[in-house]
Amino acid sequence: MGNVTGLRCLGCGADYQQAPIYVCDECFGPLEVRYDYDAIASAVSRELIESRPRNLWRYRELLPIDGEPTIGPYSGCTPLVKADRLARELGVDELYIKDDSVNHPTFSYKDRVVSVAISKAIEFGFTTVSCASTGNLANSVSAHAARAGLDCYIFIPDNLEQGKVVGSSIYGPRTVAVRGNYDDVNRLCSEIADKYGWAFVNINLRPYYTEGAKTYGYEVVEQLGWRLPGHIVVPTAGGTILPKIAKSFDEMRTTGLVEGDTPKIYTAQAAGCAPVVRALHEESKTIVPVKPDTIAKSIAIGDPADGYDVLDVVRSSGGWGESATDEEIVDAIQQLARCEGIFTEPAGGVTLAATRKLIEQGRIAGDEPIVVSITGNGYKTLEAVTGALEEPRVIDARLRDFDNLFEGLHSNRDQEMVGAKAAAG
């Protein structure tokens, strides 16, 4: 049933048969999955897709598996939330949150790429799966491996949030915390992948894994009523999801599922780890790796593997990039929660803070549909915001105590309003 015709090197164009490989023997360029798009175009239709169960495999013709999917029966099909209160605060007409903070089973966009990678690992006959991760990928690989009954090794930096660590360990993998940052972890894992022959979802299965990210874009289009948005803002860590969203839009046009202009695509990074945004701002052809220093740990990758793809896609779409300081990240997390009842982790704060700047700069037009990509859940990273929030008021279980508190809060508020009026007048 598969439509994959093989792998092709993006550097020199050499063709390969499907295998758990990720770099070209000739030129060390990255490999990408190739499809028979004519076959896909005659197989798919909007009606067929809409008739299928609400999970990411409803787009299976465009995903790189050959048999029936075995993993991810509840992943994907996350809400596209029309964010009217937030739109009003930002001064724009039509704003949507694509909310992967409620993805299944581990509350981030990584459940998409892992569903595809582990289905593929099972097709290839692997019995051990692994990954180098900033946290969310580890959570997802651990959970999916548990469900599939596979052995699992997880490699993470030694400074992650407790929610991200426990969010893997609970599923029973072997977790290895490496002293250093993600880039150190990743370098070690490339050597381990070569030596141990495991399925590293984001190393030797990378060509298949990254394809899972396309489902984020397919869903946006389907949920907009088979329409392309005008603008989409996407966080960048290693640079997987942003170019794959662009690819998803191209494929939907190639196969006749949607028509219209390519949306403008914008990258968002934390100010403490913004090598791609910096290259955009400096109009540079090269990405200079950085040492990350930000509360947005899930996207703290100083040397992004697919950073150049991000640059190409952003530039050719007519988009741009912005970064956000830790303070702006926390403020944006709170704004999203306050306006829309959605609690995102720092990566989502980065994306919203960047969106705000892009609107203020006039780069994002307020009268075209805008999609803000929320990719992870705030319950995993409570440390990031606790210091910024109002502490609970502690009282005894007596009505009089609450009456006093309520009165106090009210007279405070009245005073604040009197003060505000005086200041305004």
Ligand X SMILES: *Cc1c(COP(=O)(O)O)cnc(C)c1O
Contact residues for ligand X, defined by CB under 6 A:
108-110, 136, 235-241, 298-299, 345, 347, 375-376
Choose from Zn ion, ligand X, none: what does 117 bind? Cβ within 5-8 Å by kind.
none
Least Cβ distance, residue 52 to ligand X (angstroms): 25
**Which of ligand X, Zn ion, none interacts with 330 (beta carbon under 5 to 8 A by kind)?**
none
Q: Does 11 bind Zn ion (CB under 5 A)?
A: yes
Distance in Å, CB of 134 to ligand X, minimum: 6
Contact 375, 235 (CB under 8 A): yes
**Binding test (CB under 5 A) with Zn ion, winner from 12, 365, 388, 417:** 12
What ranges make up the beta strands (E) of 182-291? 199-200, 231-235, 264-270
In the block, residue with structure tokens 């548990």: 146
**For residues 44 and 145, which CB has a smaller minimum distance to ligand X in the complex?**
145
Pick the stretch among 18-26, 30-38, 158-166, 220-228 that binds Zn ion (CB under 5 A).
18-26
Q: Which is nearer to Zn ion, 29 or 73 (CB)?
A: 29
Q: Which one, 109 or 153, has the nearer CB to ligand X?
A: 109
CB-wise, 255 or 381, nearer to ligand X? 381
**Interhelix angle 110-124/136-148, nearest 10 degrees:** 40
**CA separation for the pair 83, 80 (Å, rounded):** 9
The binder of 214, among Zn ion, ligand X, none, by C-beta within 5 to 8 A per type, is: none
CA 108, CA 134: separation in Å to the nearest integer?
12
Helix (H) or strand (E) holding 96: strand 95-99
The CA distance from 147 to 401, in Å, is 50
Footprint on residues 21-60 left by Zn ion (CB under 5 A): 24, 26-27, 29
Looking at beta carbons only, is 236 or 335 nearer to ligand X? 236
Which of Zn ion, ligand X, none binds 11 (CB below 5-8 Å, type-dependent)? Answer: Zn ion
What DSSP designation does 258 have?
-
Q: Based on the shown chain and the rule CB under 5 A, indicate whether residue 9 belongs to the binding site for Zn ion.
A: yes
> Within 10 A of 35 (CB to CB), how many other CB atoms are there?
20
Handedness of CA 100, 101, 103, 107 (dihedral sign): positive
Q: Does the footprint of Zn ion cover residue 15 (CB under 5 A)?
A: no
Find the radius of gyration of the CA atoms of the chain: 22
Provide the terminal-to-terminal Cα distance of the chain, rounded to the nearest Å.
71
Q: Are 233 and 268 in contact, with CB atoms under 8 Å apart? A: yes
Report the partner that residue 27 touches, choosing among Zn ion, ligand X, none (CB closer than 5 to 8 A by kind): Zn ion
Measured over the CA atoms of residue 303, residue 307, residue 311 and residue 312, the dihedral's sign is positive
Beta carbon of residue 21, minimum distance to Zn ion (angstroms, whole number)? 12
Is 370 a binder of Zn ion (CB under 5 A)?
no
Specify the residue, 27 or 288, whose C-beta has the smaller distance to Zn ion. Answer: 27
- The window from 6-14, 83-91, 165-173, 397-405 that contacts Zn ion (CB under 5 A) reads 6-14
Question: How far, in Å, CA of 408 to CA of 386, rounded?
Answer: 24
Q: Could you give the C-alpha distances from 356 to 239, 324, 331, in angstroms and in order? A: 21, 10, 11
Residue 9 contact, options ligand X, Zn ion, none, Cβ 5-8 Å cut-off depending on partner type: Zn ion
Strand partners, 266: 233
- Report the partner that residue 237 touches, choosing among ligand X, Zn ion, none (CB closer than 5 to 8 A by kind): ligand X
Taking the C-alpha atoms of residue 3 and residue 62, their distance in angstroms, rounded to an integer, is: 7
Piece in contact with Zn ion (CB under 5 A), picked from 16-24, 107-115, 122-130, 417-425: 16-24
Q: Which is nearer to ligand X, 18 or 134 (CB)?
A: 134
Amino acid at 275: P
Q: Which residues bind Zn ion (CB under 5 A)?
A: 9, 11-12, 14, 24, 26-27, 29
